[in-house]
Amino acid sequence: MSWFVYALLCAVFLSAASLIEKRVLRTAHAIDYSATLAVVNLFISIPFLFFIDFSSVTPIALLLIFITAIFASVAFYLVAKAVRHLEISTVSPLLALSPGTTSLLAFFVLGESLDTQHIIGILSMIVGSYILAMDSGRGIFEPIKFFFKSKYIHFVFFSLFLYSIGAVLDRAILHIFEIPVVTYIFFIHLFVSILYLPISFLFRGSVHGMIKILRSSGPDVFFASIFTVGYRFFQMEAIQLVAVGLVSAIKRSSTLLTTLVGGELFHEKNLFRKMLASLVIIVGALFIAL
């Protein structure tokens, strides 16, 4: 199967998982949902255990997967927190900025160059984000105030930073240490589920809250887990074949579907403007990836 098909399946599964997440988070706390999903993800990942060649698993590779799991765990919780308190048609387009944040991180940390095409892509993303935050009847500088004042927007941007680091580590795990995808999928979900024990305690989650979610939204959590494990599997399969930036750009095309379907499903406002913003951001991502 080609990398594009894997990346496209990743986008579809990611969109489905995001929509279910928003529905559950309308009544559930973000930390309880995140911890519950992490545990269910581990159970869904158990079949991968039977395909692992443990002779290829080194301590350094496991350490890298564990570090990636830390970034993924915190980032997922921050996004869940933002999705609970903001419209999904606002959060989803912002997450599509990840190719831009990855490029900037590589520029400042790794010293990688930014050519004209990269700069155009990043500027396009900034314009798309600005369109996303604009609101009729308010001043032209309102989006700037919105980005600085909303702590949930800050959560999204910090999660983008964490996801960008994770993407670099994913590339290293697959290509430098040659860890098979099935091995990665099982261990990443094992470590994330373990990490959510202290994370849940730190942010005042509870076992009672997790049980309550399973009782009230058990089928939703189950399908969200299927889609979450699925999109991560397809993403890693695609990363094995091409550069992570290109996969990220196609993956974040899920923004259009999530914004449109989620906006209609949850009766959110200004969908046309948000769809336009999503499109501008995705075009910027493609400029960077290509």
- For the chain, count helices (H), then strands (E): 13, 0
Residue 144: per-residue pLDDT: 64
Instruction: Give yes or no for residue 181 having a pLDDT over 90.
Output: yes
Residues constituting the chain:
290
Q: Determine the average pLDDT of the residues in 131-145.
A: 61
CB-based contacts of 203: which residues, under 8 Å, 6+ apart?
31, 77
pLDDT single digits (tens) 63-105 = 999 999 999 999 999 998 888 888 776 777 777 777 777 667 6
Residue in 286, 290, 265 with CA at minimum distance from that of residue 128: 286
Q: Determine the average pLDDT of the residues in 28-40.
A: 92
Residue in 182, 180, 179 with CA at minimum distance from that of residue 190: 182
Q: Determine the average pLDDT of the residues in 35-54.
A: 93
Token pair in block for residue 257: 């579907």
Residue 40: per-residue pLDDT: 96
Q: Answer whether 188's CB lies under 8 Å from 38's CB.
A: no
Instruction: Using only the alpha carbons of the chain, give its radius of gyration.
Output: 18
Instruction: Give yes or no for residue 251 having a pLDDT over 90.
Output: no
Instruction: Give yes or no for residue 12 having a pLDDT over 80.
Output: yes
Residue 202: per-residue pLDDT: 79
Mean pLDDT of the chain: 82
pLDDT single digits (tens) 158-178 = 998 898 888 878 888 888 888
For the chain, which residues make up each domain, given as ranges?
A: 3-289
Q: Determine the average pLDDT of the residues in 168-195.
A: 90
Q: What count of Cα atoms within 13 Å lies in the side-chain half-sphere of residue 140?
A: 1
Residue 122: per-residue pLDDT: 75
Instruction: Give yes or no for residue 110 having a pLDDT over 60.
Output: no
Instruction: Give yes or no for residue 265 having a pLDDT over 70.
Output: no
Q: How far is CA 151 from the centre of its chain?
A: 18
CB-based contacts of 5: which residues, under 8 Å, 6+ apart?
none
Instruction: Give yes or no for residue 242 having a pLDDT over 70.
Output: yes
Residue 7: per-residue pLDDT: 87
Torsion of CA 122, 123, 125, 129, to 10 degrees: 140
Q: What confidence category does residue 33 fall into, taking pLDDT thresholds of 50, 70 and 90?
A: very high
